[in-house]
Structure 1
Amino acid sequence: MKCYLLFFAALFFFSITPSISNANTIEEKRAIVFFHNEVNRALLEENTEEINFIFDELPAAAVNVTEDQKQLLASHPDIQMIQYDQPIEKSGQIIPYGYKMIGADKRVPSTLSGKGVKIGIIDSGVDTKHPDLRIAGGACMMRIIDIRGCSNSYNDDAGHGTHVAGVIGAKNNSIGVVGVAPQAQLYSIKVLDKRGIGTTSTIMAGIEWAIERDIDVLNISITAPRYDEALERMVKQAYDRGVIIVAAAGNEGPPWAGDQSSVQYPARFDEVMAVSSIDNKKQIGELSSIGSEVELAAPGENIYSTVPTSLYVSGYETMSGTSMAAPYVTGLIALYKEKYPEMTNRQIRMLLQKNAMDLGGKGRDIYYGYGLAQIDKQSVNGEIAVPYITDGQGKITFDTSQLINKYNSFNMYRAGKLIASNVTATEVVDYASKGTVEYHFYPSADPSGELNFVNLEVNNPGPAFKDLSLSHWYNRYITYLYHQKIVQGYPDETIRPTKLLTRGEASILIARALELDTSKRPTTFKDAKVGASAPYIEALATQNFVSGYPDGTFRPNEQVTRAQMAILIARAYEVAPKTNNAFKDINSRVTGSGYINALAAENIVSGYLDGTFRPYGTIDRASFSVFLARTKNKDLRVTN
């Protein structure tokens, strides 16, 4: 048989050699040879260029052969099959554009994977059998509204939750996509049915389940249009217990005329990181909700990720929206949490804000928040410190000398909102009610070209009012007036900021702010001679700051309009009228237009997003307090 093989080999080579100029150019390749029984090593030694490897578990060997040798061996009766070795590559897995946009491919250290971090996905469930996902556990809350709602446990029968899960933690393997935190522990918390519908109670139960199991991060890529106090209480409970909460801002597009925000709930709650959606060119998504509550932006347009294999044969689909943007931030948080396990939820939140790539206008804006979420790249505050003291009555005094020494000037943000710009003072004062207040100090012009800033949490001891939350935009103004003994609380420990203001109550606030003498007996107006507001009205009348109606009345119980508020404040503080109309519904025919224009020029009053002032609308205690506080204290006026 040996002679038989050599004979055919000689004939074969002979027939082709005339066309080959050099025998050394004959190409050899690696092949795998399978024998019927055992490997015939002698046969291989005589009819191959080299034996590379002989397998133990199979009667096979890897060898180097020419094409002629391969054909010759294939005809031998001991050999079952011979094939060329095939290259194997890491195939199929896609690195989404969003993965690189947030810098996940440049994580430091490169070994970060979210390992040990527990992430709860509040959604429609997750496909527990998807080959690209590893689910650590979960729970179904749909039995609350339908006893049959959990017949498939916490598996996903809608597709949404699985897509979210893939963005966060798809495995780093040879298929599909890779998630930001592929080794994070993912928990499927099913609160929506196959139509994507749930209730307040299902979401609350899901959050409670996460709290009880020490979940580190919650991703909530679901939205509701209306405020829900019950849900807010549960969200706050989770945040107070150290859970980091990320939510989709919503897909409502820009706010309607007259509205200041289109951000949905629960993203709109202060305890939640609201995420808007951007595309691969870092442009805001056409349908992304916007508003001052937006904290970060992340890729959310045309995102390729996992979907249930029971619904989609491929197991992967492309979706768009803030639902896809939020999990990018959640995945980043897992990397931060793994890197800084000792950090609290508040600290990690601030570090994410600090590391964001600023987009749009400098600093936080209604479209991108602090900017595009990024991997960690710098320490929290470096060597700059901002010491502070509190007086227990709402006043917080900051020592900003180190900031001034390094940057010359800075902008100051409170809970993400600008409260002072281009500050050059070495001491700054703010006012807040009881609770933890977050501040950021940006350099006005950073010579390094990077948007560095200092984060600071202030634990303020008081005062405390049941209906005055730190999240209320008017908190600092009312607290300032309280500190100055202009505004007083009620016996039930409320401040009643949404109560519509009367002419008598407005007179009390103005007279106290001006520190007028209220000892004179009221005589000017026939309906303002007695009552709590009477001496204050008389004090203002004595100074010609107010006037009554032609019938000799003041009508102290009549509600104040925004125009009347402007007239009262401008006269009391001797602000000269201006003719340049500041709002599109203000003209010379509007009573008090000159005063409204003047107060707007001084950054004391502001209008609505649609460019109107609405002079004949009524005003509540909160809004009046804001305008009065800005009038009395110029440091409370914000100029951009």
Structure 2
Amino acid sequence: MLATAAPIALPATHTQVEVKAASIGESLVSYGKKFIGVPYVFGGTTPKGFDCSGFTQYVYKSEGVSLPRTAEQQYNVGKAVSKSQLIPGDLVFFANTYKPGISHVGIYAGGNLVLNATSSQGIALVSLSNSYWGPKYAGAKRVIETSDKFRDILKNDPTYPAIEALTNDNIIQGYENNIFKPDEPVTRGQAAAIINRVLKNEPNQVEYFKDVAASNPFAKDIAAIREAGIINGFSDGTFRPYANMTRTEMAIIVHKAFELQMGDATAAANSYSDVSPSNWAYEPIAAMKAIDTTGVFKTSKYNGSTRASRAIFSTAIYNGMNAK
């Protein structure tokens, strides 16, 4: 909640957290393994039945990556990598299977194994040392290029410029092992800290809320943005620093922090089918699209009640910092 007159229903506390793959390649493999046992169908491109390139095309699409239809065509995309440099998610090609030349493709799964559509077992893991597949190995291509900083973000992801800029300026940080966790939620306390790293405000006092002690790592930032009127507390005297922030809350604090003007936001908001002009947060949400230079907010719906992820929040801050 940002003002007591306009309550927001915050998401319930999660008791279970989905464990995500450490890299996009590993995420591809994890997703592809769900189809182990699906039968081989020549020309198949769906979970009812796959051929080799139909399978790789389908799995890559889960990460928003489009591949050509055939194994031969897929061999012409990406960057060639040596067998000794294979990492999960790389495309692995074989030649002279049912026809001369490049004729089969799979996804490297790590541990010398390839996840692919076989005519005998359907989707299965096969060893590169296999007596049949080993001699037919023809090379590998790396289609997914992650950022130099984080191995769980694609360079062509529309949120990447924002994440790169904000991490370079130490406004938001990543995690160990070159992980950013772009889909993780942003809490109200984290949002306060991120905003105040941009504004650099010093509070007059620290303790304003009964659930934010002076020892809280976000205490000074929460106090600073409270004094600036950017994020207020709840009517019960709490701030709820560990509650996830919604996309509507995000829009409001970015709107306030960067003193955004309506500008051409009216036209932009009209294309959000789930945001009515009578919505109490209409103008801040409209501004998200009006100032967006990344394409992230150029969508048909805003989905304001959903939680703001680290990647989405970073993009909103980036747009706010660069708004003219």
| TM-score normalised by length of structure 1 | 0.30
Aligned length: 222
Could you say which residue in structure 1 is the equivalent of 2:277? Answer: 588
Q: For residue 589 of structure 1, report the CA deviation from its aligned partner.
A: 3.7
Pairing 1:174-573 to 2, within 5 Å after superposition: 185-186=100-101, 188-189=103-104, 191-193=117-119, 198-202=122-126, 215=138, 238-240=140-142, 270-271=143-144, 433-434=147-148, 463=149, 465-470=150-155, 472-491=157-176, 493-517=178-202, 520-530=204-214, 531-573=216-258
Could you say which residue in structure 1 is the equivalent of 2:13? Answer: none
Could you say which residue in structure 1 is the equivalent of 2:307? Answer: 618
Alignment check: 8 A CA contact 2:185 2:310 kept: yes
Amino acid paired to 1:215: A
1:466 and 1:193 map into 2 onto residues whose CA distance is 33
1:490 and 1:158 map into 2 onto residues whose CA distance is 43
Q: For residue 542 of structure 1, report the CA deviation from its aligned partner.
A: 1.8
The root-mean-square deviation of aligned C-alpha atoms, in Å, is: 4.0
2:201 and 2:131 map into 1 onto residues whose CA distance is 54
Alignment check: 8 A CA contact 1:433 1:476 kept: no
Could you say which residue in structure 1 is the equivalent of 2:286? Answer: 597
Alignment check: 8 A CA contact 1:489 1:495 kept: yes
SS at match of 2:141: helix
Q: Deviations over 1:91-127 (max 9, x none)?
A: xxxxxxxxxxxxxxxxxxxxxxxxxxxxxxxxxxxxx
Amino acid paired to 1:239: K
Distance 1:634 1:524, change over 3 A: same
Amino-acid identity (%): 23
1:606 and 1:157 map into 2 onto residues whose CA distance is 37
Q: Deviations over 1:51-109 (max 9, x none)?
A: xxxxxxxxxxxxxxxxxxxxxxxxxxxxxxxxxxxxxxxxxxxxxxxxxxxxxxxxxxx
Q: For residue 598 of structure 1, report the CA deviation from its aligned partner.
A: 2.1
1:606 and 1:473 map into 2 onto residues whose CA distance is 6
Distance 1:185 1:616, change over 3 A: same
1:198 and 1:205 map into 2 onto residues whose CA distance is 17
| TM-score normalised by length of structure 2 | 0.56
1:209 and 1:538 map into 2 onto residues whose CA distance is 66
Alignment check: 8 A CA contact 2:291 2:323 kept: no
Could you say which residue in structure 1 is the equivalent of 2:26? Answer: none
Could you say which residue in structure 2 is the equivalent of 1:46? Answer: none
1:540 and 1:481 map into 2 onto residues whose CA distance is 19
Distance 1:475 1:598, change over 3 A: closer
2:212 and 2:287 map into 1 onto residues whose CA distance is 30
Distance 1:158 1:539, change over 3 A: closer
Which consecutive unaligned segments of at least 5 residues does structure 1 have?
1-143, 150-155, 169-183, 217-237, 241-269, 272-414, 416-431, 435-462, 636-640
Larger-gyration structure (1/2) = 1
Which consecutive unaligned segments of at least 5 residues does structure 2 have?
1-35, 45-50, 52-68, 74-98, 105-115
Could you say which residue in structure 1 is the equivalent of 2:66? Answer: none
From the two aligned structures, give the one with the greater strand fraction. 1
Alignment check: 8 A CA contact 1:562 1:616 kept: yes
1:626 and 1:187 map into 2 onto residues whose CA distance is 41
Q: Deviations over 1:332-391 (max 9, x none)?
A: xxxxxxxxxxxxxxxxxxxxxxxxxxxxxxxxxxxxxxxxxxxxxxxxxxxxxxxxxxxx
Distance 1:633 1:159, change over 3 A: closer
Distance 1:584 1:186, change over 3 A: same
Q: For residue 558 of structure 1, report the CA deviation from its aligned partner.
A: 1.3
SS at match of 2:189: helix
SS at match of 2:118: coil
Alignment check: 8 A CA contact 1:606 1:613 kept: no
